[in-house]
Amino acid sequence: MRTKGWLLVLLALVFAACAGEEPAEAEPAAEPAAAEPAAEPTADDQVAAMQADCEAAAEAIAARQAESSLYDRLGGRDAIEGVVTEVVRLHHENEAIAHLFAEADDATLIASVTDYLAEVAGGDVTYAGGGMVEVHTGMNITNELFLAAGGDVHAAMTAAGIGENEIEEVMCHFASKHGEVVGI
């Protein structure tokens, strides 16, 4: 764009010189305005986008679950427990949320979350723990903390070699619990 502007100025000068006239003072081409960098999406924006993505994927998720349970596709209880163990480890290392787990009994937490995830994934497992509201009340979880925890879940599942579809299903399940966890 800059070269084209200078070329036009040069041509105007040549034509003016050939015509025997003094060339008019030409103004250089204006620099294009620098595009403002896109603002980083807020935590609220990210949660809303995640929920919209999950709504859009609901039909595909239901079709996959009709073919084979998420529990089976995750590899059963032992595989789920391995992922949950890694999630708890990551939570302890995650500066944003480590304080929420400082006093946790990790063995009990891992067993409880494993049973919860195994049950909701379609396994023949019974979760005997409290409801989402009950176990998260008083934790003062914000969207930022919710996303930080979700990032750990995603990282643990990816590291375990879990497929993208299964990761999506687990993440969408947790996204569906947002209102029972955040701001209570």
Location of structure tokens 């609220």: 44
What average pLDDT score do residues 34-54 get?
91
Q: How far is CA 138 from the centre of its chain?
A: 25
Residue 29 falls inside a structural domain: no
CATH of residue 49's domain is: 1.10.490.10
- The residues, any chain, with a CB within 8 Å of residue 28's CB and separated by 6 or more, are 5, 6, 9
Find, among 87, 78, 47, the residue nearest to 167 by Cα. 87
Residue 101 falls inside a structural domain: yes
Residue 142 falls inside a structural domain: yes
Dihedral of the CA atoms 109, 91, 116, 171 (nearest 10)?
180
Residue-level pLDDT at 21: 44
Residue-level pLDDT at 107: 98
pLDDT band per the 50, 70, 90 thresholds, residue 20: very low
Q: Are the beta carbons of 121 and 74 closer than 8 angstroms?
A: yes
- The residues, any chain, with a CB within 8 Å of residue 118's CB and separated by 6 or more, are 71, 77, 80, 125, 127
Residue 124 falls inside a structural domain: yes
Residue 3 falls inside a structural domain: no
Location of structure tokens 């003094």: 22
Q: Nearest 5°: phi and psi at 126? A: -110, 120
The DSSP code for 163 is: -
Residue-level pLDDT at 31: 67
pLDDT band per the 50, 70, 90 thresholds, residue 30: low
Residue 85 falls inside a structural domain: yes
Residue 5 falls inside a structural domain: no
pLDDT band per the 50, 70, 90 thresholds, residue 96: very high
Dihedral of the CA atoms 86, 146, 98, 158 (nearest 10)?
20
pLDDT tens per residue across span 98-147: 999 999 999 999 999 999 999 999 999 999 999 999 999 999 999 999 99
Q: In angstroms, what CA-CA distances link 125 with 17, 27, 56, 137, 168?
A: 90, 77, 29, 25, 22
Location of structure tokens 């060339």: 23
pLDDT band per the 50, 70, 90 thresholds, residue 22: very low
Counted domains in the chain: 1
pLDDT tens per residue across span 54-88: 999 999 999 999 999 999 999 999 999 999 999 99
Residue 94 falls inside a structural domain: yes
Q: Which domain holds residue 99?
A: 43-180
pTM: 0.79
